[in-house]
Amino acid sequence: MTTQPACYRKLLKRMREVSLLNSIAGVIEWDQNTYMPAAAAAYRAEQFACLGERSHRLFTARAVGGLLTECEQLGLAPDSVEGANVREWRHHYDRATKLPASFVVKFERTKSLAYEVWREARGQSKFELFQPHLSKIVDLVRQKADYLGYEASPYDALLDGYEPGARAERIVPLFAELRAGIVALLGPAREQSAATPADLLRGEYPIAAQQVFNQRVAAAIGFDFQAGRIDTTTHPFCNTLGAGDCRLTTRYDEKDFTDSLYSILHEAGHGLYEQGLPAEHFGTPAGTAVSMGIHESQSRLWENHVGRSRTFWEYWHPIACEYFPGLKSLTPDQVYRAVNRVHPSFIRTEADQVTYDLHIMLRFEVEVKLVNRQLEVADVPAYWNEQFEQMMGLKVTKDADGCLQDVHWSTGGIGYFPTYTLGNLNAAQLMQSARRGNPSLDGDLSAGRYETLLAWLRQQVHREGSCHRPRELMEKVTGERTGIRAHLDYLREKFVGGQGT
Amino acid sequence: MTTQPACYRKLLKRMREVSLLNSIAGVIEWDQNTYMPAAAAAYRAEQFACLGERSHRLFTARAVGGLLTECEQLGLAPDSVEGANVREWRHHYDRATKLPASFVVKFERTKSLAYEVWREARGQSKFELFQPHLSKIVDLVRQKADYLGYEASPYDALLDGYEPGARAERIVPLFAELRAGIVALLGPAREQSAATPADLLRGEYPIAAQQVFNQRVAAAIGFDFQAGRIDTTTHPFCNTLGAGDCRLTTRYDEKDFTDSLYSILHEAGHGLYEQGLPAEHFGTPAGTAVSMGIHESQSRLWENHVGRSRTFWEYWHPIACEYFPGLKSLTPDQVYRAVNRVHPSFIRTEADQVTYDLHIMLRFEVEVKLVNRQLEVADVPAYWNEQFEQMMGLKVTKDADGCLQDVHWSTGGIGYFPTYTLGNLNAAQLMQSARRGNPSLDGDLSAGRYETLLAWLRQQVHREGSCHRPRELMEKVTGERTGIRAHLDYLREKFVGGQGT
């Protein structure tokens, strides 16, 4: 489209203003997470409220609905920039305007109390403290689903906020099959890594050396430090604060450099996606990541398919030895095996690549059952512990190591969890397609040349922004919908194939 | 006032919202100065514009004028919180609304170009590059003064933006007398420090050690690190980003730890003022610093009267030796003399305490003459160089070391400069009153107990916010208007009194 119609131009202007306000909120949130002094918290909350209110008012104004309706009558091509923008604006506008203000206020209040209680409950490992709050949250997300509307399952209305177009009725059987597949290879995978001691990499890794090494790795895979940086936080994250401004964070364990390294590879994976989005569409859906499941595919791809590969350590081991001389006593193969040790454990965020999805799928299963009233909130710990033992062979003895470990429910984020595993599935499927499309890929990766992979991802995924919905994007790029085959093949080959890749 | 009238409450609500938006701009400005990656600059400018426009629109709305008029008819006591707020809001409202939008746009555009050219001109030391831009700036500030209105001199309208109520006709003779007084003691002061070598403190001072030492000194004088922090920038500053959030910055010279130490003492002086303002009035004039001349008095007081005193080094020298072992070869008296070496030089920001005000007063004189059409822009370098040599006995051989050295003119800040010297005068006068009011003061300072001084400043100056105008505040606290006596006495006693204090 060469000349944009007036209604589209008006809408675009307003939406860019909404994005500006949201991006400013991003800056002050980053500051809060990194450098803000403690006494600033109360006023910072007012600063957030001021921006949030203005952004919400601008976005949900009746005039926006009118402009959207006008634009929808223009007959825009669905995968044109303009068509995609209007479609996605409508999606967000409907989600934002269907919820009555009184409901939003009540939900916010419930969540902020639930979050405080969850912290307390996890600290004491007492589910019964959290239980009444979780009950309220479940009731409220059901109501939310009713307001938003859905076809098959109320869970879909929640999921749709993170993975547009995804449906529980498809994910449930997909995950059931994946779970069976992973459980089947867990035994042999454990056996294969039985010879690798848990503490093989324990040593002295000064934080300053970790910082320089991580920076070098992130730059090598293509993260642009002219348009981003790395700071320190308790919980690593990647956040875009504006055009040309992508901030990563990590934390440091002086006894184990791989903790910060793999968070940086993970967050830089997110960051490469953010930096690869078309800058000319910044602040509109065409310049925005399409879904959490695609976003997570990028982080997992760089963290695991690249960073936890054998060739990665063949290339990086001698370089790492410059920063961490203690590593000289190990071979690249030993480091590779150490960072791929399969070992069922209680805490999701510490899980290896094989067991990770088992944590995710169990939580997803519980979420769906709660939302569908097939499980009582009071029965969550018993159900969790029973299923966990079945899958992992580990007996949960305290809820802090079980159903209480993750923050998401307390912040109302039911529907988010499955995107973690969808990310793993997408990563494996994209990696397979990247190999098909780039015969030189493995050679390039072995030589520490990451441009081939990044250029392909830029072209296939990043540049697309939200022009296609996640399902269409995966079909367009990989020839099929998100499935479990590529991921299971990858896990099997790597973890029970003998040598690993 | 126990119940506030509706018009005041409405005004207060809106003004707090304006402050919220401005404080958010403060956060993103701080980020820009400290950590923002280079590629983020263009979008950051849009973020600023978005906040600035919203804040300006909210503040200058016709409704505000109406509410102010209503409030002015309430007969509020002039030094009550409400009375002071209404007076100051009116002051700022009038200044903001008297300038036509077209003038503001033209001025902004001229300044941003002038700033770029000034950088270039200073780099090449070519005044003729900057000259046409300075001419435009001078024309525009004259126009600005005409829009704002004034009684005696157009310069007053400019000055009023930084030092409310100050008048050139009073400052001109005050500074003339001060200049004569300083020039008279410059010779003997140079003689007294002739025996102190310029490089006495040159050594190896690792940045990490400087950071810890500075932090310890700043905490000792009372800067609250729960409500503030120190970061690194090229140009040190102190900026309040919200209630409970005061950020200082400095820079480090690995060969001279006093560079960062004295900027931190200076900036922490500003910070103590900001942290001492009444928190309950944050975002209103009653919770805001009253003027630049009072602000600078706080920074100068802690930097010079406290930090450059003999007793300071008697107390801190052994502690500094823990961080900088090289200092063990010096006595406290030697360090004291080194940080007080009087030595005329070209660059204001590197000037000693005696010659500093000569730089300021010369620039003020040039500004007044330019605004009053008593000096042509083309003649500025010749005038500067002649006057400079008269005062300092130094021949300026390049404009970069002379009239081109400071940024202020290029950013339209004509009228700001005199507040530096007013700050010095106020600092000496306040210090004299603090001694009168606190017989234990000198003993406390010798023992590294800064609470007495800080508590007095809190009570007398900080807690007052902008409830009194600067002149009234000085009269109330010190018994007289800002004058030169206390400062000259202090300089004379310290720099030509033999021992120094």
Q: What is the CATH number of the domain that holds A218?
A: 1.10.1370.30
Q: Is B267 a catalytic residue?
A: yes
Single residue among A49, A66, A98 that ends a domain in this structure = A98
Q: Residue A439 domain-assigned?
A: yes
Q: Residue A167 domain-assigned?
A: no
Interface with B, mutate which of A30, A43, A215, A284 (most B CBs under 10 A): A43
Q: Residue B43: which of A36, A37, A243 has the nearest Cβ?
A: A243
Q: Residue B132 domain-assigned?
A: yes
Q: What is the dihedral of CA B241, B245, B251, B254, to 10 degrees?
A: -160
Q: Residue A144 domain-assigned?
A: no
Single residue among A82, A98, A114 that ends a domain in this structure = A98
Q: Residue B53 domain-assigned?
A: yes
Report CB contact under 8 Å: A28, B27. Answer: yes
Cα distance between residue B115 and residue B407, in whole Å? 8
Cα distance between residue A280 and residue B72, in whole Å? 50
If phi > 0 it is left, if psi is from -120 to 50 it is alpha, else beta; for residue B401 that is: alpha
Cα distance between residue B71 and residue B86, in whole Å? 7
Cα distance between residue A418 and residue A360, in whole Å? 7
Surface-to-core class of residue A232, CB atoms within 10 Å of its CB (0-12 exposed, 13-18 middle, 19+ buried)? middle
Q: Residue B102 domain-assigned?
A: yes
Which residues on adjacent β-strands are paired with residue A500? none
DSSP string, B320-343: HHHH-GGGGGS-HHHHHHHTT---
Per-residue model confidence (pLDDT) at position A238: 97
Interface with B, mutate which of A14, A17, A21, A27 (most B CBs under 10 A): A27
Q: Residue B76 domain-assigned?
A: yes
Range of the structural domain that residue B61 is part of = 6-159
Report CB contact under 8 Å: B40, A241. Answer: yes
Residue corresponding to tokens 């397609």: A433
Structural element, H or E, at residue A487: helix A485-496
Query: What is the tally of structural domains in chain A?
Result: 2
Mean pLDDT, chain B, integer: 96
Cα distance between residue A172 and residue A411, in whole Å? 23
> B369-381 pLDDT, tens per residue?
999 999 999 999 9
What's the residue count for chain B?
501
Per-residue model confidence (pLDDT) at position B325: 97
By CA distance, what is A23's nearest residue in B?
Answer: B47
Residue A326 shares a structural domain with residue A453: yes
Per-residue model confidence (pLDDT) at position A79: 83
Give the model's confidence band at B498: pLDDT under 50 very low, under 70 low, under 90 confident, else very high.
Answer: low
Q: Residue B78 domain-assigned?
A: yes
Residues near B175 by beta carbon (within 8 Å), at least 6 away in sequence: B361, B364, B365, B418, B421
Residue A338 shares a structural domain with residue A477: yes
Q: Is the pLDDT of residue A497 over 90?
A: no
Nearest Cα of chain B lies from the Cα of A41 at a distance, in angstroms, of 8
Cα distance between residue B15 and residue B20, in whole Å? 9
> A397-425 pLDDT, tens per residue?
999 999 999 999 999 999 999 999 999 99
Mean pLDDT, chain A, integer: 96
Cα distance between residue A44 and residue B452, in whole Å? 32
B53 chain-A contacts, CB cut-off 8 A:
none
Average pLDDT for residues B396-404, to the nearest whole number? 96
Single residue among A98, A124, A150 that ends a domain in this structure = A98
Tokens found for residue A202: 């324990």
Report CB contact under 8 Å: B42, A227. Answer: no
Per-residue model confidence (pLDDT) at position B497: 81
Nearest Cα of chain A lies from the Cα of B392 at a distance, in angstroms, of 44
Per-residue model confidence (pLDDT) at position A465: 97
Residues near A225 by beta carbon (within 8 Å), at least 6 away in sequence: A215, A218, A219, B37
Per-residue model confidence (pLDDT) at position A500: 46
ipTM: 0.93
Which residues on adjacent β-strands are paired with residue B250? B232
Per-residue model confidence (pLDDT) at position B407: 93
Per-residue model confidence (pLDDT) at position B501: 45
Give the model's confidence band at A458: pLDDT under 50 very low, under 70 low, under 90 confident, else very high.
Answer: very high
Nearest to A134 by CA among A424, A431, A376: A376
> A167-216 pLDDT, tens per residue?
999 999 999 999 999 999 999 999 999 999 999 999 999 999 999 999 99
> A274-292 pLDDT, tens per residue?
999 999 999 999 999 999 9
The catalytic residue among A29, A88, A163, A267 is A267
> B35-74 pLDDT, tens per residue?
999 999 999 999 999 999 999 999 999 999 999 999 999 9
Residue A90 shares a structural domain with residue A232: no
Residue corresponding to tokens 């500053």: B237
Nearest to A483 by CA among A437, A438, A426: A426
Q: Is the pLDDT of residue B279 over 70?
A: yes
Residue A215 shares a structural domain with residue A337: yes
By CA distance, what is B54's nearest residue in A?
Answer: A54
Cα distance between residue A164 and residue A88, in whole Å? 9
> B201-238 pLDDT, tens per residue?
999 999 999 999 999 999 999 999 999 999 999 999 99
> B244-270 pLDDT, tens per residue?
999 999 999 999 999 999 999 999 999
> A73-95 pLDDT, tens per residue?
999 998 899 999 999 999 999 99
Strands A245-250 and A238-242: antiparallel
Cα distance between residue A156 and residue B367, in whole Å? 69
Interface residues on A facing B, Cβ-Cβ cutoff 8 A: 17, 20-21, 23-24, 27-28, 30-31, 35-44, 46-47, 50-51, 54, 224-229, 231, 241-245, 282
Strands A228-232 and A238-242: unpaired
Residue corresponding to tokens 């600063």: A47
CA Rg value for chain A: 23
Give the model's confidence band at A3: pLDDT under 50 very low, under 70 low, under 90 confident, else very high.
Answer: confident
Per-residue model confidence (pLDDT) at position B2: 61
Per-residue model confidence (pLDDT) at position A436: 97
Nearest to B339 by CA among B259, B285, B431: B259
> A101-134 pLDDT, tens per residue?
899 989 999 999 999 999 999 999 999 999 999 9
Per-residue model confidence (pLDDT) at position B79: 83
Q: Is the pLDDT of residue A501 over 50?
A: no
CB of B238 within 8 A of CB of B274? Answer: yes
Residue type, A135: S
Q: Is the pLDDT of residue A499 over 70?
A: no
Q: Is the pLDDT of residue B173 over 50?
A: yes
A35 chain-B contacts, CB cut-off 8 A:
35, 229, 231
